[in-house]
A and B are shown apart, each in its own frame.
Chain A
Amino acid sequence: MLSWWKHAARIVATILLGGLLGATLLRTAPGFGIDNEELDPRLNHASVVALRQNQPGGNLLSFYFHHLSRLVHGDLGTSRTFERPVSQLLRERAPETLKLVGLGLLVGWALALALALPAVMVRSRSMDLCTSVLSGILLCLPAALLGLLFVLTRAPVRLVLALIIFPKVFRYSRSLLARSASMPHVLTARAKGLSQLRILLWHVLPTAAPQLLALAGVSVSLAFAAAIPVEALCDLPGIGQLAWKAALGRDLYLLVNLTMIVTTVTLLANSAADLLAQSLTVNP
């Protein structure tokens, strides 16, 4: 019971640290406190001065402390680039991103495993070659070009993320499974004449399971990272677009909240992967 609490406390501490570091990165970046509207030639001097003062200023630590105390009450602050409360923005846009990331991970993993498993079990060099070239092509295509091709062919734009995740997951999982398939006990099982499916399920996968789970956890944060440019380029109104605009617009409240959300998701995904992996290695 105590270990659960310690684990949870560690996660919370890391999330808070993540928020603080995100805020630090923003405060030290050039262009903080700048509003594009300053350049409007209609504004007189008093208005420009008022615009410049209208920034979340003060000490970074005191800002963060106040932000956290408001967070406990459910007030996430107001975004400067959108001029609306952050909680409202997140509520409106979260479903879009969840759909995108969910679909991307599902289809990406499905494709990756569908190609990696046969490649490893069949052990044909030419199939290896083809799948490598295919994943190589997808890795080299810029996301903007992919997005454009999808729009041109009227394909569902959400699958762009799947095509970005697929080659990375494929490469890693193929290496892991290949290594697992060449281990002594698998060779023994093959020599014994067991069916391919049995070898796969009972010998290859279990050995590679901890690493595959770690990969799954990491792929969640990779998916969120990739969702940012994909949403920005393909005009999907999700959280990724918010993150892009927050970084480029130096929007402190928005960025701090988004960093904490992404840190939470990453930590939860990786911890879940860790726990699953540990429980698998305990069971023989």
Chain B
Amino acid sequence: MKKIFSLIVRLVCVLFVAAIAVGQTSNELRFCVKADPKTLNPLQVADDASETVRYLTGGVLLRVNRLTQEAEPELATSWKVTDGGKTITFKLRDGLHFSDGTPFSADDVAYTVQQLMDPALHSPTGDSFRSGEGKVLTSVAKGDRITITFPAPVAGLDKLFDQVAIMSARSPQKEKAVLGPYYLADWKAGSYLLLKRNPNYWKQDAAGHRLPLIDTVRIDVQQNRDTEMLRLLRGEIHFINSVDPESFDKLASENAAVVHDAGVSLDAEFMWFNQASKSPLPAYKQKWFHSTNFRRAISESINRADLARIAFRGHAQPGVGPISPANKVWFNTNLHAHPFDQRSALQRLAQDGFRLQDGKLRDSDGHNVEFSIMTNSGNKNRERMATMIQQDLSGIGITVNVVSLDFPSLIERMTRTFDYEACLLGLLNNDLDPNSQMNVWLSSADDHQWNPNEKTPETAWEAEIDKLMHAQAATLDLQKRKQYIDRLQQIAWEQEPFIYLVNRNALSAVSPSVQNAHPVVLRPQVYWNVDELSLRSEVASAK
């Protein structure tokens, strides 16, 4: 009898421990990234995986709530922007500590800002603040107030601090000491990263529980999207941040509760013609591409509704201009996508001397209109769009050759040799403020893709755009800025240097076992509120 009793007790203990162990392992959030992070220094983050680690581990002064798109206090309880956008003063929370115990104070913020703005570091985040030459001054007052003064006004100054993760000035662990909800505990290169709960994280939720609610986060390095999708269906991972349209439809057919279409995002897909004067293209082709009538005609000959419906399976909207309709504050509501009207296109082309003969379009000198569109291989949506544009343009007698190139070759043609005719690419945009596109619209800038680094603006409308961009950066008056940006969008719509094709929807997939997930349009779409996510403890799912 005694033996049986002790056996039962032992069995119960084992089951109890197993249940706890299972319960513990099931309190781990799992998802995938495409590659290893390139750097753990939050100031030098440029790739997606590093940004993921920074979001999960970095503590920031204020956080832009991805759902409401408003700035919320984090390490700073309040802030004020003064001096026409040149100065910002933060009042910091006190009594906080880094993950290794080092106390947090305004000196750490000053240290981080000085490191960030170091010109030798060339931090991409730092460059967003660099509106003018000169030193950045920081002054600490009474240990919990810090004033940062920039040499020139910075548009949208406060929301930019969402990207600045505060580093410790004194900790021996350097960048490993963090203020965010998690810290990096283990990293097996090429396989996975393991993040564990930061014991010194200061936040509590409304009910008074210590955040984060999930103990560990495991990030697997997985490039194959099909494997990622299968793992989600099997319950091995909990969400996929960004899903492509085919996988979305496949997942929806398996389990409709898993997929989320958050609506149109800020990302745009567009094509442009090479207008660089340094390009080795023959003169007659350069004449075509420089002509506004030509570009407008091409834009009107492309069926954007079909592109959205077929290439993106309905998970996209026809593109209008540089600002996506999802950006409610800045989008110019007077503008609509160019209509699909090939007759009007031919009339426009006739104004420039183009003629349709025997089904082929010829310019005024008799050359057949033929050009190539290059795009980056590996992106199925873009290859599909290029093939569809090929058929659309054959409707007005233009022969298009679709060339898929690997990314380095593509960039070399785009930025070094200028040996290309048309290019189809996209822009991943996470910033609502149009000032982030300064380097795209300034004619002297490097990212002015159709004709980079112009010494002086080569056309009147580019000169006007330069004036508008400078003007909107110099004022804090939202009304005035909106006027300038509206005018910018109008000019872009009329001149079509970029022919905007579609704005993609933000697609993501979340397992039903994740609670409190609200997938949104801004990145990170699913885990933006990671400290408040929780997992339904299913013993069965821990298999």
Contacts and interface: CB of A to CB of B under 8 A. Distances in A.
B408 A51 contact: no
A248 interface: yes
B439 A235 contact: no
Contact of B127 (A34, A44, A83, A84): A44
A82 B227 contact: no
Interface in A1-53: 30-32, 34, 36-48, 50-51
B348 to A, nearest CB: 31
Given A44-B127, A45-B446, A50-B122, A38 B46 contact: no
Interface string B377-418: 000000000000000000000000000001111111101100
A44 B439 CA distance: 7
B151 to A, nearest CB: 13
Contacts of A234: 224, 227
B540 interface: no
Given A40-B124, A44-B127, A83-B38, A237 B224 contact: no
Given A30-B408, A46-B122, A237 B189 contact: yes
B347 interface: no
Interface string A224-253: 000000001111010001000000111000
Which interface class (under 10, 10 to 19, 20 to 34, 35 or more) fits B? 35 or more
Contacts of B447: 39, 41
B504 to A, nearest CB: 18
Interface in A55-112: 82-84, 89, 92-93, 96
B408 A34 contact: yes
A40 B221 CA distance: 23
A191 interface: no
B353 interface: no
A83 B439 CA distance: 26
B191 interface: yes
A74 to B, nearest CB: 20
A50 B39 CA distance: 18
Contacts of A237: 189-191, 221
Contacts of B119: 46
Contact of B440 (A41, A46, A248, A249): A41
A151 B227 contact: yes
Interface in B416-436: 416, 427, 436
Contact of B408 (A83, A84, A249): A249
B230 A151 contact: yes
B408 A32 contact: yes
Nearest to A83: B38
Given A38-B415, A39-B447, A44 B440 contact: no
A167 B446 CA distance: 51
A152 interface: yes
B221 A42 contact: no
B411 A31 contact: yes
Contacts of A43: 122, 124, 127, 439, 446
Contacts of A187: none
B444 to A, nearest CB: 8
B190 A30 contact: no
B439 A30 contact: no
Contact of A41 (B409, B415, B437): B437
Interface string B113-139: 000000100101101101000000000
Contacts of B413: 30
Contact of A83 (B39, B227, B427): B39
A134 B366 CA distance: 57
Nearest to A80: B38
A169 B445 CA distance: 56
Given A148-B226, A235-B221, A237-B221, A36 B127 contact: no
A40 B412 contact: no
Given A30-B412, A42-B128, A235 B406 contact: no
B124 A37 contact: yes
A43 B447 CA distance: 9
A262 to B, nearest CB: 19
Nearest to A54: B122
B145 to A, nearest CB: 28
Contacts of A48: 446
B38 to A, nearest CB: 5
B36 interface: yes
A37 B46 contact: yes
B436 A41 contact: yes
B415 A93 contact: no
Given A93-B190, A233-B224, A42 B411 contact: no
A51 B122 contact: yes
Nearest to B406: A248
A46 B413 CA distance: 21
Interface of A: 30-32, 34, 36-48, 50-51, 82-84, 89, 92-93, 96, 147-148, 151-152, 232-235, 237, 241, 248-250
**Pairs of residues from A and B, 6 with the lowest C-beta to C-beta distance, nearest first:** A31-B408, A237-B190, A47-B122, A31-B409, A34-B408, A30-B409
13 contacts: A31-B408, A36-B407, A37-B46, A38-B411, A41-B436, A42-B125, A43-B124, A44-B439, A47-B124, A92-B189, A151-B226, A235-B223, A237-B189
